[in-house]
Each structure stands twice: as structure tokens, then as C-alpha cells.
Amino acid sequence: MVIKYKLKKKSSECKARLGEITTPHGTFETPVFMAVGTNATVKTLSVEELEELESHIILGNTYHLWLQPGDDIVRDAGGLHKFMNWKHSILTDSGGFQVFSLAKLRDIKEEGVYFKHHKSGAKLFLSPEKSIEIQNNLGSDIMMCFDECPPYPASHEYLEKSLERTLRWAKRCKEANRNKDTQGLFGIVQGGEFEDLRKRSARELVVMDFDGYSIGGTSVGEPKEIQNKVLDYTLDILPEDKPRYLMGVGSPGAILDAVERGIDMFDCVLPTRIARHGTAMTTNGRKILKNKEFERDFSPLDNKCDCYTCKNYTKAYLHHLIKADEILGYRLISIHNIRFLNNLTKEIRDAIREDRFMELKKRVYEEYGLKDGGKDF
Amino acid sequence: MVIKYKLKKKSSECKARLGEITTPHGTFETPVFMAVGTNATVKTLSVEELEELESHIILGNTYHLWLQPGDDIVRDAGGLHKFMNWKHSILTDSGGFQVFSLAKLRDIKEEGVYFKHHKSGAKLFLSPEKSIEIQNNLGSDIMMCFDECPPYPASHEYLEKSLERTLRWAKRCKEANRNKDTQGLFGIVQGGEFEDLRKRSARELVVMDFDGYSIGGTSVGEPKEIQNKVLDYTLDILPEDKPRYLMGVGSPGAILDAVERGIDMFDCVLPTRIARHGTAMTTNGRKILKNKEFERDFSPLDNKCDCYTCKNYTKAYLHHLIKADEILGYRLISIHNIRFLNNLTKEIRDAIREDRFMELKKRVYEEYGLKDGGKDF
């Protein structure tokens, strides 16, 4: 296996686990949060800033990079790591989620998906083989299988057919990988909210033996309880010696809930997306920096945070930058928000190491003002 | 005097001079380029990046900071240096230029200027006393006198009346300064293209004895030859032991022309403004990074540049970031463009030190593909 997972500690209170992943570009502990670098850049940030934030792995988007600049250009540049000057691990998604969320007029066939470009309307085609070809050109450490990502809710009948095709696609993805020694591949469990489908999906993927497994079809509008239930009846089937990744999840409450159920990896655009609207995640809950209450607040954004922004700037300055639509404002809040999630996952790892995860979860829920089962940020 | 100027070397070939300015926040050699930090931030950049670029002094805009966040808030934050976390020198303009270029429906009276906000239409008033009060609240090292900045062209008759009022305003500005021990004040020479008016303006300001003198009413649409002529018949009148600042000028050709005539300080939005449109200043001339020619150009932006961008990224990556409208693209090009002008002024200082300025000027004009008297970037 290209991707190595070492289980370092299991919680005695729940299914939370402390682990360590090694990829061709480094080793890091899990649970881990991955910042999203859609267009070969984590929005507004330099790679040195990401290093300072102790990000060890970031996500790149296959769909976006395929269309711009084109995966052939990234390949000719020496791969995504070299193109964007990032020396650490990269996970790329398969493009599947974007095909089903951004693109227009999809036509799903056994061979792949025909669709139109989300802006230009140009005719496009993605298949398991094409997705892996693109991801091979990008040269990520961890690739994802090309899957159908059905909306929520969908019928058992529809999801069963979709799932069967996605399983056939997973097999084709594995066969298509031409960099078996340098690029790992994760299978994606689908099946919507249905226990039988999720279990079947997980079992068949495990037989195919992937480097890791992700839980797909989440964060597509379903209630948090359903997300948790899906994890409850899926994760036990996945092998203990492989990493498990919950796609598109990055709010503190959802991370805690998923870690409790045995998830190791997370990604989400949340910290950078809300930063662009001037919203910060703090240990006292959400702060909307445009609000007048911060106009003369000369204290740091988050007293408990050790990031560059909190060490050097006041809420009044951030308020001003956001009001003036200055890019430095988005940059400083992005730095803080990513550090916030990296600090949270570090706290989680330390708590599992010391077997006090449930106590941490309770404290964080209280401190951040999170509500069980509700949206938190 | 709060601002100390030391003349270190005079060219034997022309009026170029190597000097050293000391402000309450540091010492730096001149000729110097000042990046513009309109809203208490040099667009897209952190203060550490500016330090790495070897910027020693930046400019803040009084008009903008007065309106947002308000100079009282900056004062309560501990001044502009502390508010934006910049430990080195700051020069603030007077707001005059913005009143005459941005604001609507001006009414110029002896007491000051009544005008409307450039966006909201709110009624506003700026005067010599008000401008200095704002600049005192901002706490810059070098303040500028509030002046009328007439458009080009304007009649001799109009300019004479305007000039006389601006001289009376200069006196009022000097008297209004309540931080005489910590904030220096520069007078601004006006008089349009007319030799008699420029000389009269310079002579009367010298009598008032300011910390330095700037040449105003330039970069308002006049041809470059007129700008050079204005410098030719103004600078000899200004005292040798005070710095001279050409406002709003930052293109390489204009900098070289002005240094040749005895200018020490420059500021311009050019490097950050063109960066936002994906344009870079290089030793091979202007590069418009959006152009398809750079799609597969895996070489650095400027082979002769030592900036972070040129050391770590390719033109193909910058092309991609600009095409994808990614903020990191504007940031990387801003870094390069400011470093480019800081490197140019450093080369100029070294050339004056070694008494070979005219040779440098000729070489740069040739290398950068600049045309005498024409627009260069």
C-alpha cells in the first residue's frame, strides 16, 4: 500500500482513534483536518503560511484543475506539488461531487457522465478512467475513486442502482491507476441513509482492498443525525488498519461527532469560505467581524488562539479591513480559521492519547456554544 | 526638525543625490520608493512581507482612513503603526488629492473645502486644521500639508490664486500641528506647469521652513516632459539639507528622470494596482500574466529578481492563478512589483554612491524597453 496507516491508540469510551498516516510526502497524526486548495491554492494563503499553521495535508479539486489550468499543464509543471510549491501531502477528490453539484444537464451512463461546463456550457465527459488519468497527472498522494454522489433525499431503488454502478466504477478506478507505487487510492462508501446499502457498499469496497475508505454522499443537505447514523453502521465494517475519511465535513460539532464514531480525516471549505465573508470560528463561537460591536474592540479575535492573526491584530483592525473590503482581512481570518480547526484536531488527538475524548467533546460543545445535532458554524 | 536628512553623496554627472532620512521610526537611504497602504494595509500584503521586500517607509491615505475606520478609532488603537502592526516609518498624505480627484461637487473656500463623499454623497469638510488633526490622530512620521491639487491643464490666473491660498493653508497646517516633536510636516510645491509660479511656491514654502518638500500637482495627466521641466526649475530652489518627494510617481522611467533632477522620495499605487489586473513589472518590460503565452511558461517571472515570487513560482502558475481569479495571484505579483521598484531604487542608490548614475539610467531604459518621454509601465 502506498498509504500507510498506524493505529496508535483507541479510546476506551467510544470509537475515537489516534493514528498516523504516511504518504510519499510525509507523516502526520490523525484525526486530521485538510484545508481545501481548489485551484492549486488554499484561498488567499501561501504554502509557508499553511506550514506555520501546521497543515500537513491539503485537498486539491480534480474537476477545477482539469478545466483550469488543465491537468496536462500541471503534469508538465512537474505535478501539483511542484506547480504550487507544496512539499507535503495532497489528497485529490475525483471530480464526482462537482459533476453532481456544479455541472448542468448530466447524463449518467455506465461508461461515465456526460455533462456541461458549469460556466461555459461546453460538453464534457468524466469517467473512472478519465478521473484517475487526471489525478495521475496531478500526482496527488491520495486519489479518490470516481463515484456518483446522489442528492439527499433519494429513494432506496435509485440509490441501489447508483451504488452498484459506483462499485463497478471503483473497480475500474483501481485498474486505471498507472502510478500504483506513488499514488494511493481511496474507495468511497455510498448508499444514502440506508443501512443495508451503506453496509453492502462498505463490504464490497473492502474486498477490493483500497488504501483507505471515505464516507461519501454526506454534507449534501441531510440532517446531522442521519450523518451520524450512517457513520454508526458503516465504520465497523471498514478495516481497522486503514484510514477513514469523512468528505466535506469541517464544523467543530460534526468533527467531534465523527471522531467519536471512528473517523480519521476531514476536509471542508468552511474556514476559508466564511473568512471571505468576514466570519471567524472562535472558542467563543462564531464572530461576524463586519458587525459594529467590533469597531472599537482592541482585543484579539480569540484569546485562546496562538495564530499569527490573534498574536498581532485586533478585532477592530479586522473589522476595518472587512468593511474596507481589503484582501488582508480575508487572509488574516482564513489563517485564524484554519488554525482553529488544526488546533481543535490537535486537542482531539491529545485527548484520545490521554483517553479523555468524551470530556473534551463535552467541554468544546459547551465552550463554543454548539448544540447537539444542530448546525454549529 | 523631526525628520533628519543627511546628504551622503552628489552625482558629478547630474543632480542625483544619495541621502539618508531618519524618522521617529527608523533610518533609510534615499532615493526611496514608498508602497501605498491606503486603508492601513498595502493591498494583499502582510507587514512581514513588506519587511522582507525591504520596504522601510509606506504611505497611508488620510482621506480614506478619516472616513473608514475613522481617525479617532486609529488614535484609540494607539495610532496607525500599532493599528496595522507596522514598526517602520509612515508618511500620510493630506487628503487634498482625493478631495480633488474622488469627491463630488467641491466648493473651495478660504477656510477649506466642502464636498460630498465619493460613494455615499454625505456632506464633508476638510481644511488645513482638520487634515492635520486627522494626521495627528493617525500618528504618521511624515505629514503633508493640505493643498489644492488643480487639474492639468489649468490657466496661469487660476493657478496663481490657488497657489496663494495653498501657501496660506501651508502656514495654517504648520501652526495646527500639535505633535511637533514626533511628527514632521512637508510643504507641497504647486504652480502647475508655470515656471514663475513653481519658483514662487518653492521660495515661499522654504521661508516657512518645513521638514521636507514635495512636488505636488504631478501625475495629473500632464506629459512627462512637463513633469521633468517642473522639476528642473523647482528643485534648485529647495534647500539641499531637506528631502524632496515627488508625489504619485512610481514608473521606472519617471523615477530615473526625477532622480536625475534631484528627487529623493516616490510613492505610487502602480505596483499593487497593476498586480490586481495580473500585470508585472520586470527587467524585460511589462508582462500581462493573463496572456496565453504564459500558459506553459515554467520559468520565473523575472530571472534577475530575487523576490519570493520569482524564487518559488513559475509564470505558468501565476497565469493560472490570475485566470482562476485567485487572490494568491494578486499577492504574488504585488510582492514582485514592489520588490522590483525597491530593487530599482537600490540600484539607483548604489549607482549614485559609485558615481555612475547616468550609465545605470541608460542601461535600465534599454533593458526594460522604456522610451524617453513616453509611458513606461
Q: What share of chain A is helix, strand, coil (3-state, %, to 5)?
A: 40, 20, 40
Question: Residues of A with CB below 8 A from B41's CB?
Answer: 321, 326, 328
Collapsed DSSP state (helix, strand, coil) of residue B270 = helix
> What are the strands, taking DSSP E only, across B50-122?
57-60, 89-92, 104-108, 113-116
Identity of the residue in B43, B84, B327 whose CB atom sits nearest the CB atom of A44: B327
Shortest Cα distance from A351 to chain B (angstroms)?
A: 35
Query: How does pLDDT run across B297-318, given as a tens digit for each residue?
Result: 999 999 999 999 999 999 999 9
Per-residue pLDDT band for B151 (boundaries 50, 70, 90) equals confident
| Contact (Cβ atoms closer than 8 angstroms) between residue B340 and residue B300 | no
Rounded to an integer, what distance in angstroms lies between the CA atom of residue A228 and that of residue A233?
9
pTM value is: 0.97
Give the whole-angstrom CA distance, residue B148 versus residue B190.
8
Phi, psi of B300 (to 5 degrees): -65, 160
**What percent of chain A is predicted at pLDDT more than 90?**
89
Q: Which of B141, B257, B267, B302 is catalytic?
A: B267
| Cβ distance of A319 and B84 shorter than 8 Å | no
Amino acid sitting at position A346: K
Q: Strands, DSSP E only, in B109-257?
A: 113-116, 123-126, 142-144, 184-189, 212-215, 244-246
Angle between helices A195-208 and A156-176 (to 10 degrees): 10
CB contact under 8 A, B39 and A326: yes
Q: How confident is the model at residue B221 (pLDDT cuts 50, 70, 90)?
A: confident
Specify the long-range contacts of residues B22-28, CB closer than 8 Å, at least 24 apart: B23/B57, B23/B89, B23/B141, B23/B142, B23/B184, B24/B89, B24/B141, B24/B182, B24/B183, B25/B81, B25/B87, B25/B88, B25/B89, B25/B90, B25/B141, B26/B56, B26/B57, B26/B87, B26/B88, B26/B89, B28/B56, B28/B57, B28/B89
Among candidate residues B89, B21, B54, the one with its CA nearest the CA of residue B338: B54
Closest-CA residue of A relative to B77 is: A298
- pLDDT single digits (tens) A312-345: 999 999 999 999 999 999 999 999 999 999 999 9
Residue at grid coordinates 463586519? A290
State how far Cα A70 lies from the chain centre.
Answer: 22
At residue A300, does pLDDT exceed 60?
yes
Asked if B141 and B185 count as a contact pair (C-beta separation under 8 A), the reply is no
pLDDT over 80 (residue B7): yes
Residues in chain B whose beta carbon is closer than 8 A to a beta carbon of chain A? 39-41, 43-46, 64, 68-69, 73, 76-78, 83-85, 295-296, 298, 312-314, 316-317, 319-321, 323-324, 326-328, 330-331
Q: Give me the catalytic one of B93, B141, B211, B302.
A: B93
**Residue range A4-46, pLDDT digits in tens:** 999 999 999 999 999 999 999 999 999 999 999 999 999 999 9
d(CA B202, CA B242): 13
Mean pLDDT calculated for residue range B133-139? 98
- Active-site residue flag, B267: yes
Query: Which residues of chain A does B69 touch, with a Cβ-Cβ cutoff of 8 Å?
Result: 295, 316, 319-320, 323
Give the closest-approach CA distance of A152 to chain B in angstroms. 30
Active-site positions of A read 93, 267
